[in-house]
Amino acid sequence: MNIFCLGLSHHTAGVSLRERFAVEEGKLGEALSALREEAALQEAVLLSTCNRVEVYGLASDPDAAALACADFLQRSAGIEAEFYRREQAEGARHLFRVVCGLDSMVVGETEILGQVKDAYAAALATGATGSTLNRLFQQAFRVAKQARSETGITRGAVSVGSVAVELAEKIFGDLTACRVLLLGAGEAGARVARSLQSRGVRGLIIANRTFDRAAELAAELGGMALHFDRWQSALTDVDIVISSTAARGHLLSAAELLPVLALRGDRPLFLVDLAVPRDFDPSLNEMEGVFLHDIDSLQAMAQRGMAARGREAERCEKLIDAQVQEFFEWALQRPSSAPVAARS
């Protein structure tokens, strides 16, 4: 049995190169069929995401097959690249680490598991897999489930956006009824707004000194634009305020917020201050019902989450080692004469 993985990822290639090699979802089956024929692959799965393009293959001559795969990918992309290659146990281990999120930009992220499942389903639908890769990928999905249930690899916020979402859920619980005010139309604030939307937030108001930019971002995110000189009037109706402006001096003081709180009743107000220098007076955090976090506190919490996931990653690696051994014990028990037929 000669399995291998060949590819490139965010570890080895910048986004400008990765995007050249990306395969459109609708063309994945067609590309996989052509790749199998050209590289004489008995079985194959082609994985293409924003962070990686990888071929998992089974071939009687893995050296020749890997070279043919590299040539095919480079011709399709119209550019040369350096590919990594993992064989046998290291190829299996690489796949298991990928699905567990250990090879991701953010350790423990879960989106990659669904992407690998989609790639495997596409290969299965076109008849590109057989008993070996079917076993390998099904075992990969089992180890990913085991890693999630037996370790804390996916737990703990590890980005400013995920920290903000975690804090918001602690304050409000269900976020579907929450309304968000975004001050400034920069990418930092927009990322946090998107993170909140991913967890159910529907109401979004964007205020920016350049109204056209606020309107543009509002259209992109499905919110509404507000003229910047009117943003304080929205404070009585929103639950979360994300601020990331280039203002000189504080945009909101305790004296300005006090009458707003009287109108809000007992509804909490969560302030996310991403600006440097800060947009909100730090003393706001001392006011009843106000929860204020600045960029330093959010980043510190994200770093603690990363450290915790790093410790859990060690536990995941041990689970993976055991699963790799199990897979190759299964492979060795198969009759050596049993062919693995390529499917048309």
Asked if residue 8 is part of any domain, the answer here is: yes
Domain holding 57: CATH number? 3.30.460.30
The overall average pLDDT reported for the chain is 91
Same domain, yes or no, for 83 and 189? no
Structural domain boundaries, residue 285: 160-300
Residue, of 67 and 308, whose pLDDT is higher: 67
**Residue 178 catalytic?**
no
Lowest mean pLDDT among 117-121, 131-135, 160-164, 193-197: 160-164
Residue 258 in this model has a pLDDT that exceeds 90: yes
Q: Are residues 184 and 146 in the same domain?
A: no
In a domain, 9, yes or no: yes
| Tokens at 252, concatenated | 């909101």
Neighbours of 164 (CB within 10 A): 26
Percent of the chain with pLDDT over 90: 76
In a shared domain, residues 194 and 238: yes
Statement to judge: residues 73 and 208 lie in one domain: no
Token pair 């603690």 is found at 304
pLDDT surpasses 90 at 305: no
- Residue 214: band (very low, low, confident or very high) from pLDDT cuts 50, 70, 90: very high
Q: What is the pLDDT of residue 290?
A: 97
Provide the pLDDT for residue 102: 92
Pair (24, 142) in one structural domain: yes
Please give the residue that has the higher pLDDT: either 152 or 93: 93
- Residue where a domain stops, chosen among 100, 126, 150: 150
What average pLDDT does this structure show over 21-28? Answer: 87
The residue-averaged pLDDT of 208-212 equals 96
pLDDT, position 110: 83
**Average pLDDT in the 273-291 region?**
94
Amino acid 253: pLDDT: 95
Q: Which residue has the higher pLDDT, 227 or 107?
A: 227
What is the average per-residue pLDDT within 246-267?
A: 93
Question: Residues 143-166: pLDDT tens digits?
Answer: 999 999 999 888 877 788 889 999
Closest among 192, 175, 174 to 183, alpha carbons compared: 192
- The reply to whether 109 falls in a domain is yes
Indicate if 140 and 169 belong to the same structural domain: no
pLDDT at res. 156: 74
| Greatest mean pLDDT range, 9-23, 143-157, 252-266, 330-344 | 252-266
Neighbours of 296 (CB within 10 A): 11
Q: Are 248 and 277 found together in one domain?
A: yes
- In the structure, what pLDDT confidence band is assigned to residue 248 with cuts at 50, 70 and 90? confident
Q: Could you say which of 5, 50, 178, 316 is catalytic? A: 50
Same domain, 110 and 186: no
Measure the CA–CA gap between 27 and 44, rounded to whole angstroms. 15
Q: Which residues pair with 227 in a beta bridge?
A: 208
Residues 212 and 108 in one domain: no
Tell me whether residue 313 is in a domain.
no
Own/partner pairs, 253-262, CB within 8 angstroms, 24+ separation:
253/281, 253/284, 254/281, 254/283, 254/284, 254/286, 254/287, 256/232, 257/284, 257/287, 257/290, 258/287, 260/232, 260/235, 260/236, 261/287, 261/288, 261/289, 261/290
* Domain-located, residue 257: yes
For residues 220 and 135, membership in a common domain is answered with no
Integer-rounded Cα Rg, in Å, for the chain is: 25
Q: How confident is the model at residue 259 (pLDDT cuts 50, 70, 90)?
A: very high
Question: 106 in a domain, yes or no?
Answer: yes
Say which residues have a Cβ less than 8 Å from residue 337's Cβ, sequence separation at least 6.
none
Asked whether residue 113 is domain-assigned, the answer is: yes
218 lies in some domain: yes
Are residues 305 and 157 in contact, defined by beta-carbon separation less than 8 angstroms? yes
Final residue of a domain: which of 117, 150, 183? 150
pLDDT of residue 160: 86
- Evaluate if residue 183 carries a pLDDT over 90: yes
* pTM, to two decimals: 0.69
CATH of the domain at 265: 3.40.50.720
Residues 6 or more apart whose CB falls under 8 angstroms from that of 310 comprise 107
Domain count within the chain: 2
Same domain, 278 and 194: yes
Domain boundary pick from 121, 150, 179: 150
Are residue 98 and residue 230 in the same domain, yes or no?
Answer: no
